[in-house]
């Protein structure tokens, strides 16, 4: 059974004149690292919300087709059912934090679900270690930097032991080094077996970690596959996807008759390919 299945799912927000999602059909399996990208307004955020039933149960509108998360239909089960399956993290961590300190913040979700106190205690300590939050233990969320707040928000999400982490542009308000730290954590969680669905424009930062890239445009999925295959497509430039600079150089060289073989995703990969080409 797929972890997430979109079965011909369409959605239109109340009051909107066009569909936010149009006949989406796909499955996401355990352990995958899926990056969703596309022009703003293409339906990426709606896609994320549909995974944990926020669409259509909290954000209402016209619905056709179904989404099954962990085998459960998101139209037929309560939103709370999905909180412990799909953990959502958003762009603005300050909008997500609800309590006054790190431990309470992490414990908040499991307490609401009635998890036993000693189990909560155990999860809190494990997550403080995993996300390196020891120094923040006594800090009020509003005294923390954006990167620190986002780490706490991720910890609070993970406290519910979700099977998939769904992150909607989690680093776009952060400086590049804080962003990199968050993305490292997400890649690490994926290596430990957690599925990841990440919405991101800046493919320079994430393409190397992803096992799959899904390109959306105007509510539809227009390409879906291995990052190197997808980013080599001209379609990316046509719809305005931010292809990594190293991949852009590869494509420009290709039009001039220089074929580097593999599609590079980072500057270092590009440099390695050039070295290999000279030693051939």
Please report how close the Cβ of residue 183 comes to another protein at its closest, in angstroms.
11
Nearest to 127 by CA among 111, 100, 104: 104
DSSP annotation of 263? P
**Residue closer to another protein (CB basis): 79 or 271:** 271
What are the C-alpha distances in Å from 30 to residues 67, 88, 184? 16, 16, 19
**Residue closer to another protein (CB basis): 48 or 159:** 48
Specify the length of the chain in residues: 280
Nearest to 10 by CA among 61, 59, 65: 65
Q: How far apart are CA 90 and CA 83, in angstroms?
A: 14
Please report how close the Cβ of residue 269 comes to another protein at its closest, in angstroms.
9
Nearest to 186 by CA among 44, 35, 4, 28: 35
Please report how close the Cβ of residue 30 comes to another protein at its closest, in angstroms.
28
**Residue closer to another protein (CB basis): 45 or 157:** 45
**Residue closer to another protein (CB basis): 2 or 233:** 233
Please report how close the Cβ of residue 274 comes to another protein at its closest, in angstroms.
5
* Residues that bind another protein in the complex, under the rule CB under 8 A: 13-16, 38-41, 44-45, 91-92, 145-147, 169, 172-180, 201, 204, 239-246, 248-249, 252-253, 256-258, 266-268, 270-272, 274-275, 277-278
Please report how close the Cβ of residue 76 comes to another protein at its closest, in angstroms.
25
**Residue closer to another protein (CB basis): 10 or 266:** 266
Q: Which residues of 33-59 are buried (b: 16+ CB within 10 A; e: fewer)?
A: bbbbbbeeebbbbbbbbbbbbbbbbee
């Amino acid at each position: 059974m797929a972890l997430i299945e979109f079965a011909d799912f369409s959605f239109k927000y109340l009051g909107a004149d066009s569909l936010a999602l149009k006949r989406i059909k796909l499955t996401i399996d355990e352990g995958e690292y899926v990056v969703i990208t596309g022009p703003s307004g293409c339906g990426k955020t709606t896609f994320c919300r549909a995974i944990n039933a926020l669409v259509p149960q909290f954000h209402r509108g016209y619905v056709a087709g179904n989404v099954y998360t962990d085998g459960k239909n998101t139209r037929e089960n309560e939103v709370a059912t999905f909180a412990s399956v799909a953990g959502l993290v958003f762009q603005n961590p300050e909008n997500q934090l609800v309590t006054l300190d790190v431990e309470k913040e992490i414990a908040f979700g499991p307490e609401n679900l009635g998890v036993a106190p000693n189990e909560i205690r155990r999860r809190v300590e494990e997550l403080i270690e995993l996300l390196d939050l020891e120094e923040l233990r006594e800090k009020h969320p509003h005294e923390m930097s954006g990167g620190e707040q986002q780490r706490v928000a991720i910890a609070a999400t993970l406290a519910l032991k979700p099977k998939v982490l769904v992150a909607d542009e989690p680093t776009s308000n952060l400086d590049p080094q804080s962003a990199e730290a968050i993305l490292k954590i997400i890649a690490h969680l994926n290596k430990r077996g957690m599925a990841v669905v990440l919405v991101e424009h800046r493919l320079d930062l994430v393409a190397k970690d992803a096992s799959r890239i899904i390109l959306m445009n105007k509510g539809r999925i227009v390409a879906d596959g291995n990052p190197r295959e997808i980013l080599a497509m001209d379609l990316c430039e046509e719809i305005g996807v931010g292809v990594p600079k190293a991949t852009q150089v590869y494509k420009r060289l290709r039009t001039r008759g220089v074929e580097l073989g593999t599609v590079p995703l980072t500057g270092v990969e590009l440099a390695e390919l050039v070295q290999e080409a000279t030693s051939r």
